[in-house]
A = this chain, B = another copy of it.
Amino acid sequence: MTVSVEKPLLAALREALPDGAVLTADDQLDLHSRDSAPFGEAGRPLAVVRPGTVEQVREVIRAARAHGVPVVPQGARTGLAGAADAVDGCVVLSMVRMNRILEIDPANRLVRCEPGVVTADLAAAVAERGLCYPPDPASWEVCTIGGNIATGAGGLCCVKYGVTADYVLGLTVVLADGEVLRVGRRTVKGVAGYDLTRLFVGSEGTLGVIVEATLALRPPRPPARALLARFPSASDAGEAVAAIVRAGHVPSALELLDRTTTEAISALGHPLFADGGAATLIVASDAPDAAADVHAMAALCRDAKALSVTAAAGEEESAEVLEARRMVLPALKARAATLPGEVTAFIEDVAVPRDRLAELIDRIELIADEYGLYISTVGHAGDGNLHPTVVFDRSDPDAVRRAKEAYDAIMAAGLELGGTITGEHGVGTLKRDWLARELPPRSLRLQRDLKRLLDPEGLLNPGKVLA
């Protein structure tokens, strides 16, 4: 970046945005240079801008374009694939100030909001009106709706309630040329023309900047009942998952913890993990007959050789069981604290057909052995979506190398088992090369054609999703 571009662009941005909305201090540039991916190729932004209106977003994009400078949209930077990492000399377009809920419409069960709304805030606001916004990515207490949509985020309850994409009725998007595009609808159904809404969901800010969303809501979820079952092996737990699916249950959570995770939580002295075992299943039901549903699923777990099954008797016990799922991160942090160096936990994301899950867990255990790594795997078993978490010392170049190689090996295993390189975290920069291995050439070409159609100059979040 030469000064000849930098100065007039900053001047243009400062003119377009009110005081304090253009940040150039070092600490702000540092803070906004990367999301939560561990191996990013994050560059250094020229400036961070925090617009408050659609018009300001348009001005920023027009100004950046006029100077040939890339724009990187950002939400809460909780993404795990590098999609919100800055590129050198870019303008980071932080959407966090555009965080208004514009409308809650109970009669039509929908909400209209700006992209910077925190997911938990949206969920709380609609709950106050007797409605529910189900998508619950792990970072839901801090991540933003815009980021959820841009990455196509999932969560725990997808197994029953679907992913973020399933709730997006309509979007307002600022395009690379600064024009405003409205796609989708307010009606429940609609097939007027090609589905442009879904094109932007999961596009990671590479096709346009989401400035408003219309989201479908649901009636409130009934209280959940839960069970926790311990198994001698991941395969046995996998059998239980298969039996639950075959029997037609639709649990509201169906989480599998592998041996490493199970041991890490046991080590914290959690009472439900006292019985040993090599794999744990945590299952919830919020069906109207949840108690009976859980009872029946508990029996299926016993049939699948569970070492122990704890079916919660009431709401309080259910909360305790579900709390065990949230022990995963504290348990890994406790484990990390025992390791030397600058220890980091990197959460991977891969999805396979549901019936290949146990196989993938076994493969990941072998990969952990092969690369001498500590890998703890937790999975949305009902979706076939696994999150192997690699705990390693990022100050140790050899550990970093092994972690990266293991990451590649896990994705290769996922593809080999008929799966996808990402179930819910997205492609970003981390999986860009892998996308080219997953997609057939013609499909990849069409992806590139679409990017070129919507962003011919390649200034919107360049290098993300596609190389």
Contact = CB atoms under 8 A, between A and B. Distances in A.
B181 A442 contact: yes
Contacts of A453: 449-450, 453
A108 B419 CA distance: 12
A1 interface: no
Given A199-B198, A249-B219, A287-B288, A383 B193 contact: no
A190 B351 contact: yes
Interface stretch (A34-42, A55-63, A158-166, A395-403): A158-166
Given A181-B442, A201-B195, A446-B181, A107 B189 contact: no
B158 A189 contact: yes
A361 interface: no
A183 B355 contact: no
Q: Which of A194, A199, A202, A450 has the most chain B CB atoms inside 10 A of its CB?
A: A194
Interface stretch (A120-128, A303-311, A424-432): A424-432
Chain A contact residues: over half helix, strand or loop, or mixed?
loop
Interface residues of A, number: 87
Given A107-B355, A182-B443, A246-B106, A420 B220 contact: no
Nearest to A241: B107
Contact of A190 (B109, B245, B420): B420
A222 B190 CA distance: 28
A277 B382 CA distance: 48
Given A187-B384, A219-B250, A195 B106 contact: no
25 contacts: A175-B442, A182-B440, A186-B419, A187-B384, A188-B384, A188-B385, A189-B351, A190-B351, A190-B423, A191-B422, A191-B423, A191-B424, A192-B421, A193-B202, A193-B438, A193-B439, A193-B465, A195-B199, A196-B446, A196-B447, A198-B198, A218-B250, A287-B288, A288-B288, A450-B453
Contact of A188 (B183, B190, B198, B383): B383
A187 B246 contact: no
Nearest to A292: B288
Nearest to A203: B194
Nearest to A353: B108
A312 B138 CA distance: 44
Nearest to A198: B198
Contact of A187 (B175, B353, B435): B353
A354 B216 CA distance: 12
Given A189-B154, A194-B465, A199-B199, A166 B166 contact: yes
A203 B249 CA distance: 34
A51 interface: no
A187 B351 contact: yes
